[in-house]
Structure 1
Amino acid sequence: MKIETLKKRLNKNRSMTTITMRLPEDVVEDLKRVAPLLGFSGYQPLARAYIGQGLRADLERLENDTVSALVETLKHHGVSDEVLQEALSEVIYD
């Protein structure tokens, strides 16, 4: 995830939207029980944290899959490993 995107995600004043989600009662009870043990003010912030963690992991995996596919395609078209490494380091460290 890019630094700019991560900074936006960490902003506590991001706008929120209300959703309705059906969860099994035992899951909600477990969330309520675990939330204070993990330092959360309630089960909803914990649920948001869990969703965010899973979403970030999936986004990272999907972005890496796309980059890997692009690198393989560029190699197939004759772009050297040296050029690819230089380009990737510019993307990662800029």
Structure 2
Amino acid sequence: MKTETLKKRLDKNRPMIAVTIRIPEDVVDDLKRLAPLLGFSGYQPLIRAYIGQGLRVDIERLEGNTVSALIASLKRHGVSDELIHKALSEATHE
């Protein structure tokens, strides 16, 4: 994840939107029980944390797949491993 995107995601004053979702009562009860044990002020922040965690994993997985596909394509077009490595180093050390 890019540094600027990460900084925005860590901002506690980000705009929020209300979302209605149906969750089984027993799951909400479990969330309410676990939230304080995990250091959350309530079950809703815990739900946001779970969603954010899953979202980050999927974004990384999908973006990683895109990067892998790009690397494979560059190799098929004759770009050397050395040049690909140099470009990746430059891109990840913004």
Q: TM-score, normalised by structure 1?
A: 0.99
1:9-88 correspondence runs (5 A)? 9-88=9-88
Aligned position for 2:5: 5
- Matching residue's letter, 2:12: K
Offset of residue 47 of structure 1? 0.2
- Matching residue's letter, 2:26: D
Offset of residue 30 of structure 1? 0.4
Q: Number of aligned pairs?
A: 94
**Paired residue secondary structure (2:52):** helix
Unaligned ranges ≥5, structure 1: none
- In 2, Cα distance between the equivalents of 1:88 and 1:62? 17
Highest RCO, 1 vs 2 (Cα 8 Å, sep ≥ 6): 1
- Matching residue's letter, 1:46: L
Task: Report the RMSD for the aligned CA atoms in angstroms.
Answer: 0.4
Identity over aligned pairs, percent: 71
- In 1, Cα distance between the equivalents of 2:26 and 2:89? 46
Offset of residue 27 of structure 1? 0.6
Q: How big is each residue's C-alpha offset from its partner over 1:28-78, in whole Å with a ceiling of 9 and x where there is no partner?
A: 000000000001000000000000000000000100000000000000000
Superposition misfits of 4+ residues, deviation over 4 angstroms: none
Unaligned ranges ≥5, structure 2: none
